[in-house]
Structure 1
Amino acid sequence: MTLLEAAAEFLAKDEERGLLGLHRLRVDGELLTRGEVAGRLRQQITEKNAARYAWLRERDLDTVHQGGVFAGMTPKNVVLNGIDLDQAIDAAMTTAVSTTPNGGQNR
């Protein structure tokens, strides 16, 4: 867990306890409630994860031979990118949610 993720989780717990509107924090010269900070942290995490996925999704299929980071699927041992990667992830996520007792929810 990154520091950013830990801070977002900490603030989310405050949100659950109804504490987010009680204090204001100065962030980059702007006064924000803890809820606003939590929202911005979640947005930054989402944007960073989206950028990572976009980069991974566009990797050349030959990366497996050239070395580097790529996405693959076993037991077929194939390298995936583009729409094939999207579909494989969607299928795996659907399977994970349908086989998890709480529907894939961590909370």
Structure 2
Amino acid sequence: MAWVFLLFAGFGEMTAMFFLKLSDGFQKKGAAIGAIAAGGVSFYFLSLSLLDLPVGTAYGIWTGIGSVGTVLLGILFFKEGFHAKRLLFILCIISGVIGLKLVS
């Protein structure tokens, strides 16, 4: 279950960053509350995953899921640029996450 909790934590991180962008610097209260709530959910599931996983592995994978997911959300919803260099570095993050999973 630790890996499932870690996956939920990563999706919570993505959701928190999505709402943080929508909050417009915490000026839009509904989105700001969504960001805080999603961040709390993310930390909760991360803490559950840490009961069974090494902290370095869990943190690296959590940030990897959050980073890649947030970049993709930015491209899809906020018209952020997508080009070959970005794809290359996203693939680097994904390969690091896979590597951490394999050695754990």
Judging by fraction of residues, say which structure has more strand.
Answer: 1
After TM superposition, is the score higher than 0.5? no
Q: Which has the higher contact order (CA 8 A, sep 6+)?
A: 2
User: Given the two structures, how large is their TM-score scaled by the length of structure 2?
Assistant: 0.33
Judging by fraction of residues, say which structure has more helix.
Answer: 2
